[in-house]
Amino acid sequence: MRNSGERGPFLIIGGTGKTGRRVADRLRRSGQDIRIAARSAPTRFDWFDEATWEAAVSGAAAVYLVDAQDERAAERMRVFAPFAVKHGVTRLVLLSARGWEDSGDPGMLATENALKGSGADWTILRPTWFMQGFTEDETLCAPVRAGEVRLPSGDGLEPFIDAEDVAEVAAAVLTGEGHQGRTYALSGPRPLSIGEAVAEIAKATGRTVRYTPVSEEEYVAQLVKDGLAVDHAAFLARLFGWIRDGEDAHLSDGVQQVLGRPPRDFTAFARRAAAAGAWND
Ligand SMILES: NC(=O)c1ccc[n+]([C@@H]2O[C@H](COP(=O)([O-])OP(=O)(O)OC[C@H]3O[C@@H](n4cnc5c(N)ncnc54)[C@H](OP(=O)(O)O)[C@@H]3O)[C@@H](O)[C@H]2O)c1
């Protein structure tokens, strides 16, 4: 395992988000030196403000990367990855997504390719949908709290993954050996429909929460009425349509490969989140 004294801090870009926060917690608990970077973090890092990059990468040997999350992500990575290598970074671990591979979208795969051409040791993590969408993304969490989840995902199945597993895999890859040049597809242990996931939450909380399938048009109209930009609403509708069409239902064994154990199940997630009051009013 890398030792902070020998190798400098682990830089966690997106370290205030769903996975980055958990990666940072895990590394900190195992005694590693960490540096959390984001626009709102003490180490200010902005993908679109290169003046913030040097202080973030300075002295770091390994970096966890949540990308810029828009259509400029690949271009930003093509600039950032060689910059980081030039400043002494030797290991880059990118949070990607499993759907990218299956959709064959060259624009999305370009971010991964930017990493591969950087000269650093690289590892790519391609998870499915996070269970924590139901607790930490307002567009999903608020409807659960209100008692009705209306989504255009029909009865399609998704093997939701616990963000704790993504973080545990990321921490293992950042600190361990044997993961260089590997791409890990990460899923939860079983595919669930949104209806089944909502039923698990209802059971864990003892509240009435129901799922109502709607069309993509209805969903977009509702989100826009709630104040979301049309483009963002259409993007979310496409993601849920991806689930409806059964494109993402298959399982992947990346958690088992890296951690040597099966991934955490949705029932345990729902119980834990309910006990923590995630869906309380
Ligand atoms: N949600 C899912 O189910 C799912 C599934 C598979 C893959 N993914 C992938 O996961 C990624 C999101 O990761 P996450 O869920 O861990 O994060 P998240 O909870 O979405 O938070 C985003 C993080 O990125 C930072 N950030 C946003 N814009 C930034 C910018 N311009 N410069 C620097 N930092 C910026 C945010 O902090 P500040 O706002 O303070 O900058 C925050 O720390 C996306 O790339 C997505 O494709 C998500």
- Are residues 173 and 123 in contact, defined by beta-carbon separation less than 8 angstroms? yes
pTM of the model: 0.96
Query: Which residue lies with its CA nearest to atom 33 of ligand 1?
Result: 46
Beta bridge partners of 11: 35, 63
pLDDT at position 24 is 98
**Which H or E element spans position 175?**
helix 163-175
CA distance 215 to 195: 15
pLDDT at position 16 is 98
The C-alpha angle with vertex 113 and arms to 232 and 262, in degrees rounded to 5, equals 80
pLDDT at position 3 is 39
69 C-beta closer than 6 A to ligand 1: yes
279 C-beta closer than 6 A to ligand 1: no
pLDDT at position 8 is 83
Where do you find CATH 3.90.25.10 in the chain? 130-161+189-249+264-273
17 C-alpha vs ligand 1 centroid, how far in Å? 6
Pairing assessment for the beta strands 34-38 and 148-151 based on DSSP bridges = unpaired
4-127 domain in CATH 1.10.10.60? no
Q: How many CB atoms lie within 10 A of CB 20?
A: 24
156 C-beta closer than 6 A to ligand 1: no
163 C-beta closer than 6 A to ligand 1: no
pLDDT at position 247 is 84
* Fold of the CATH domain 130-161+189-249+264-273: UDP-galactose 4-epimerase; domain 1 (3.90.25)
pLDDT at position 101 is 60
- Are residues 263 and 161 in contact, defined by beta-carbon separation less than 8 angstroms? yes
Query: Which residue lies with its CA nearest to atom 1 of ligand 1?
Result: 130
pLDDT at position 251 is 98
CA distance 142 to 124: 31
CA distance 216 to 240: 8
Where do you find CATH 3.40.50.720 in the chain? 4-127
pLDDT at position 254 is 98
Residue of 12, 13, 18 to mutate, ligand 1, most atoms within 8 A of C-beta: 18
pLDDT in tens, the chain (281 residues): 343 445 689 999 999 999 999 999 999 999 999 999 999 999 999 999 999 999 999 999 899 999 998 889 999 999 999 999 999 999 999 999 997 666 656 667 899 999 998 999 999 999 999 999 999 999 899 999 999 999 999 999 999 999 999 999 999 999 999 999 999 999 999 999 999 999 999 999 999 999 999 999 999 999 999 999 999 899 889 889 989 998 889 999 999 999 999 999 999 999 999 999 999 98
Residues whose CB is less than 8 angstroms from the CB of residue 15 and which lie 6 or more positions away in sequence, other chains included: 21, 23, 24, 34, 35, 36, 37, 38, 41, 64
Query: Which residue lies with its CA nearest to atom 11 of ligand 1?
Result: 66
